[in-house]
Amino acid sequence: MCVIVSACPVGAIKQRKIGPILADYPEIDEDKCTECGICIKECPHGAAYKE
């Protein structure tokens, strides 16, 4: 599981499977997201960012 899923204090991030061979990836529910930035700090791959 992606570390940012468990790091989100409001549960705005879920894992989504994109195929049988490809890995799951995190998906952010923008309606739930409070833009606290914890996911950005916790993501070891730099995949979570703010535009």
CB 5 within 8 A of CB 13: yes
DSSP 10: T
pLDDT recorded at residue 22:
64
Q: Give pLDDT tens digits for 1-51.
A: 788 899 999 999 998 777 776 667 788 999 999 999 999 999 888 878 777
Fold of 3-42: Alpha-Beta Plaits (3.30.70)
Question: Cα separation of 44 and 13, whole Å?
Answer: 16
CB 32 within 8 A of CB 10: yes
- Show me where the domains of the chain are located: 3-42
Question: What residues pair up with 26 in beta bridges, in sequence order?
Answer: 15
